[in-house]
Structure 1
Amino acid sequence: MADFVSGFWNVYVMGLVALSLLFCVVVLVANMTKRPEKVEVQGHVWDETLQEYNNPLPRWWLYLFWATLIFSVVYLAIFPGFGTTNQHRGQIAQYEAEVARADQLYGPIFARFQEQDLLAVAADPEANAMGQRMFLTYCAQCHGSAGTGAKGFPNLTDSAWNWGGEPETIKTTILHGRIGVMTPFGSILSGEEIKDVANYVRSLSGLANDSLRAQRGKELFDQQCVVCHQADGTGNTLLGAPDLTDSAWLYGSSEATIIETITNGRQNQMPAFADFLGEAKVHILAAYVISLSKGQ
C-alpha cells in the first residue's frame, strides 16, 4: 500500500475484500438453506438415457468453504491484507526493524568514518573494504566490479571526471546524482557538417582525422560547441561537458560513434543515493571511489 499516494486505494482494497467475503457468505447460506426435496435434471441427455442431475453441494464440502472463510477473516485480523491495517506485522515492518538493528550495530562505525576527511577514509583499509562491498552491491552493475566502466558508464579508475574529481564533488555526485545531456545537432547541421565537426573533435585528442574536414569543423565547433566544451575543447565540469582533448571516451572515439553522438545527442543519468544509503554510508562509498583513481 505504500506505493499508492492516495488514501482512496486503501478504502478500495478494504471494500473489495469485504464485499468478496460477504458474497461468499451469501452463496454458502443460500446453498445450505435452499436444498430441493426433488433433484431436477439439467435437460442434457447422452447415449439415449444418460442425464445430468442438479445435485446440491454435499454438506461436508460446504463446511470446508465455511472453514476457509473463517480462516480468511482470522488471517486478515492478524496479518496485513485488509487495507493498511496490521502493517506492523508485514514484510515492510520486518525490513524496517532489521534496518534499525543494523543501524544500531553498524551506525557508530559509519559515524566514526564520517567525521574523517575523505582522503583519510580512502586510505583506511577497514573503510576501503566496507566501501568495496557497497560498491559491488550498488555500483558494479553500471561501472563494473573493478570500476572500469562500460559504454555509457564512466571509468572510475582514470583521471577523467565530467563533473569534477575533487573528493567532495565525487561525494556530491553519489549523494544527489547527475543528469548529463548532449544536445542533438541532427536538425541543425547537415550530414557533411557533422562529419567535419567529428573530424575536428578527433583531432583535439590526437586521433587520426581528415585535416581539411577538421579545419572546416573547427569553425562549426566555435559556433556550436564552445558554450559547453570551451574553446579549447577541455570541457566544463559545471555542466558535465566532457574534456574532448583526453583519451577518455564514454561512448567510443570512432568517427562513426562521434557522428552518432553529434547527430542524435546523448542522455544519461546517475541515480541519487542520499535517501537510500544516507550520507554516512555515501561518505565511505565516495572514499572507495576516490581510492580507485588514486595516483591517476
Structure 2
Amino acid sequence: MDEPRYDEATKTYTTGHSYDGIEELNTPLPRWWLWSLYATIVWAVIYSIAYPAWPLVSTATAGFLGYSTRAEVAAEIARVEEANSELNTQLAAIELTTLKDNETLHQFAVSAGASVFANNCSQCHGSGAAGAVGYPNLLDDDWLWGGDIEAIALTVRHGIRNEQDEDARYSEMPAFGEQLEKDEIAALVAYVQSLSGLDHDTALIEQGAELFADNCTACHGDEGMGDRDQGAPNLTDSVWLYGSSDEVLTETIANSRFGVMPPWSPRLSDAQVNAVAAYVHQKGGGE
C-alpha cells in the first residue's frame, strides 16, 4: 500500500490503494448524503425511545409515549362490539327458527357467523365448509345429528363425543374386530357397499345381510338408513365420511371411528353460536 498523495488533476488525495497502476481517490461523500444519514440515525434513536422497539424475553420496550398497536386493535374491537351490542343481544335471545323473519338480524348473523367460522371452524371443515376425510362436509344434506338450524346450534354449543360438556352429542360404534372374524367383516363390507350401490363381492351378500341384521341394525336401522338420534350414519347414500373402499370400510368396522368435536360454548357467546349456526345453515346443506 502506497502513501496517500495529493492528486493535482482532481484536487483530491488518494487512498494509497493502487490496482494495476490505477490509484483510488479518497473522494468524500456528498454533504447532503451525510446529513441525511445522520438524520435517519437520530430519527431511529428517537423512535426507539418513544415507541415499542427493543425485544425483551417475553415482551418489548414500551416506549415513553405508551403507544400499542394491540391496544389500538382492542379499542377498535370494543368500538365495533359496542356498535353491534343491540343486535348481539337480540341474536342471543332469538328463537332460531324465526331468525329468517328478521331480515336485518339474519344478515347480521350470517356476516358475523362467517367470521366466527373462519376463526374457529375452518381448520377442520375447510374455509369453504366442504370438509375433508373424517371432517363432515357442511354443504350437503347428510347430517349425522340433524341439519336444521337449532340442531346445528346445539352441536356447535356442546360438541360431539368430548369429555368437557355433559350435553355433548355422544355415540360410539363398537370395534367389531374384537367380535367378528376377518371373513365376517369382509362379508359386512360387501353388504354395506351394496346398500349404496357400490361395487361389491356378490357372493358375500347373504352372509353380510345376516351379520348386519345381528350387529348393525340397532343403530343403522333395518334398511341401513341411519338414526340421527344416535348419530348413526345413513349407509344407503353416496356420502362417506372416511371413504367407502374395501380397506377403509374394513378399518371402520374392525376398529370403529370416534371423531371428536369440542364444545364451543365456553369460548363463544350465545350470539356467536347462533351466528355461526345461521352461517352454516344458509351455506346450502342446512335443512
Q: TM-score range by the shorter chain?
A: 0.5 to 0.7
Matched, 1:118 2:83: no
Q: 1:100 to 1:272 in 2, by over 3 A?
A: farther
In the alignment of these two chains, the number of paired residues is: 206
Quote the Cα distance in structure 2 between the aligned partners of 1:244 and 1:277: 34
Q: 1:288 to 1:101 in 2, by over 3 A?
A: same
Quote the Cα distance in structure 1 between the aligned partners of 2:201 and 2:114: 44
- Partner residue, 1:164: 146
Quote the Cα distance in structure 2 between the aligned partners of 1:152 and 1:205: 19
Quote the Cα distance in structure 2 between the aligned partners of 1:276 and 1:295: 24
Q: Which amino acid in 2 is paired with 1:118?
A: L
Q: 5+ residue gaps in structure 2?
A: 1-72, 162-170
- Partner residue, 1:131: 113
Q: Which amino acid in 1 is paired with 2:84?
A: Y
CA contact (8 A) 1:182 1:267 kept: yes
Give the counterpart of 1:106 among 54, 68, 84: 84
Structure 1 vs Structure 2: percent identity of aligned residues?
40
Q: TM-score, normalised by structure 2?
A: 0.65
CA RMSD in angstroms, aligned pairs only = 2.8
Report deviation, 1:178: 1.2
After superposition, residues 1-296 of structure 1 pair within 5 angstroms as: 104-118=82-96, 121=99, 124-179=106-161, 180-294=171-285
SS at match of 2:258: strand
Quote the Cα distance in structure 1 between the aligned partners of 2:286 and 2:152: 16
SS at match of 2:259: strand
- Partner residue, 1:74: none
Q: 1:259 to 1:151 in 2, by over 3 A?
A: same
CA contact (8 A) 2:138 2:285 kept: no
Q: 1:268 to 1:183 in 2, by over 3 A?
A: same
Write 1 or 2 for the structure with the bigger share of helix.
1
Q: 1:159 to 1:102 in 2, by over 3 A?
A: same
Q: TM-score, normalised by structure 1?
A: 0.63
Quote the Cα distance in structure 2 between the aligned partners of 1:119 and 1:158: 20
Q: 5+ residue gaps in structure 1?
A: 1-94
Deviation per CA, 1:66-103, whole angstroms, max 9, x where unpaired? Answer: xxxxxxxxxxxxxxxxxxxxxxxxxxxxx999987775
Q: 1:223 to 1:162 in 2, by over 3 A?
A: same
Which of 176-185 and 112-121 deviates more? 112-121
Deviation per CA, 1:197-233, whole angstroms, max 9, x where unpaired? Answer: 0010011111111112122101000001111111110
Q: Which amino acid in 2 is paired with 1:149?
A: G
Deviation per CA, 1:9-50, whole angstroms, max 9, x where unpaired? Answer: xxxxxxxxxxxxxxxxxxxxxxxxxxxxxxxxxxxxxxxxxx
